[in-house]
Structure 1
Amino acid sequence: MKTVYSDLHGLQDAEAEFIRGKRVPSFEGPRRAELVLARVKEAFGLESVLERREFGLQPLLEVHDERMVSFLSDFWPRWSEENGAVDAFPNAWPPPRAHRRQTQRIGAELGRFCVDMSSPLMEGTWRAVSAGADVALTAQALVSAGDRAAFALCRPPGHHAGRDYFGGYCFLNNAAIAAQSFIDQGASRVAVLDVDYHHGNGTQDIFYDRGDVLCVSIHADPTKEYPYYLGYADETGEGPGADANCNLPLPWGSDYATYGEALVAGVSRIKQFGAEAVVISLGVDTFESDPISRFKLRSDDFLYLGKTIAKLNLPTVFVMEGGYAVEAIGLNVVNVLSGFENA
């Protein structure tokens, strides 16, 4: 399996985030991707790693609001002129029933699009995240051209980025961009299978009223875990997207016996949908030692996860999402890919 990678991801290197009232070192950093890359090269060979192609803005605008994309791309000069070269966090958000009107202060604009305090913007953010989108699009192009599967080693992750908002370490939704590209190239039905510990709220938001993209997400109970306000089982889509959204929330402490049942159910739902291709939001923060998660999957379980995904027998793009137990992240990701390859 080919892996697509760009070292520009390192330009997004947050020093800290704010969580539960504390300023703490960011859990999401460049070392995550570097360790995965090293393990991929060890498992599949140096020649399996490809550099990204550049695709421009249009694929991003197919899934994201133009105002948010413009905000991200133009943000830093305005922010640094007013505030200096410091990482940018919002300190105000539109309350319920408020208008999300454009304002004249860059800090207020930040709160209009950013939903939390884990995702600071900095000088290199736009270059990093736009390169990540290109990584996903390059992997999708490989699969569209005939490869059975490809791995987009994206960083930062993307599945919490919605149509017109970002957060949860995510700025552009790489998985949604890849899925939309299959549609743009003629596929009538595509599925996104999100196996990250956290619900793919951004992906759900983007496709919720569409019937051509099925979103299946297996994740921790949102009454207890981020993103809290989406990810419930009764969210099944609306309008043309009715029955094209499937959430499978699981309790804290779930091991692979529980997780595997949900995965089989998700795979079955994708088969029933009649998808012509599948994009996997590949988070490995379901691992038992992940510092911000509470599932109990072991490294060997990720082999079975990959084997189960392979049963779909569909063109498959794996897109990197979460995973914060960095010493094990490379092994766990490669186990998914190897399980898929060897099925």
Structure 2
Amino acid sequence: MPHPILQETVTRFEAPTHHYSLLCAPGGELIAFQDGALKLTDDADDSVIWDRQGNTLTHVVSETTLNVKDGRVTVTVEDQQITSRIAHGPENMPSEYLAHISEQGWCCITSVLDPGLVEALEKIGCTDRYAGREMDRSQNMLLQSPAIAKTAAEPISLWVTRQYLGLDDICIGHPPGLAIVDKDDGKRPVLAWHSDYPYHWGVPARGKVPPGTGATCLGLQRNVCVSPFTKEDGATAFKLGSHRLDQPPPEEWGTAIQHSRPGYREEHGLPYGGPEADVVEAPGGSIILYDSRTWHRTGVNQSGKRRAALLQAMIPMYILPKNDTTRAWKQVVESDVYNDLTEREKREFERLMVHRFIGPGGRFAITGDSDLGRDSALS
């Protein structure tokens, strides 16, 4: 039975019946058709989207066709012959997702992750198909499987994020990891209404961005639905469009500051969950992007199972990270996980995890690790 207080408005995205394809070179680069020729790129705009019908691969924008043989496509790029693989792609064109988030402040890239990658994330989090498995708490999740780093390097959502934030140099504000929401017991505190880093409106934190910052967006949240996101399973609740207000959520909705106080839920109940709030329901493997100013709260899991998500606070490089990410990146580089990443994924993961600035003395990483300083082998 639905919780009597939780009556959020549901926006539901069904599992797609058709996906476009990506064409990937051996190094993981995407094969695009631009200016009348095939090119290698890391940027997943409309030029990298292909549509497969049987043994024919058609470039959606130019209608250029390629032949598929044994699941592979051999192409010539800049006088070099490349045997490429066909990879799982998005339901819609990247520009369609960008148009939606530009107008609405959020978008859902439905089931964009390869199904095998989704299963690998479930295994790390011990949810869904691996709900009976015991979590490995002896090792950082990033080091248990290449799945988290691969997901962080997912190209479609990265391109949309860069376009929305207005620059190529974006970073993750904290080491990525899975967030697990257990079945609600009626007592535990709920992360109530707030805006994400770097704004932190409604959060008991220092150094918040002042309200009324204007048109420049200082952060975008990138939530990967590992488990299917449903209202019953505790999907995130939003006030969609609230980013336009450029101000904190109202106290009468119940903010994270209020609900962080001991005994607050017992005395005041759950934060607002009426029809002015929204829940986005989406299949596992979907990525929900939203402007970090958007008011939201953790959902209340009313099912008998845990649900998992991979949360990433995406920020422009001129915003300091919330936590040090360089140590986690270095651990990945020195682990067996790193060898399972493509060259493109390695480049992207380093760009996202190592914040670098150019100063009078050269190019430096923002870190306390001397190995990542100027002119080091790892920088």
Q: TM-score, normalised by structure 2?
A: 0.29
Greater strand share, structure number: 2
Q: Highest relative contact order (Cα 8 Å, sep 6+), 1 or 2?
A: 2
Q: Higher helix fraction: Structure 1 or Structure 2?
A: 1
Question: Which of structures 1 and 2 has the bigger CA Rg?
Answer: 2
TM-score normalised to structure 1 length: 0.32
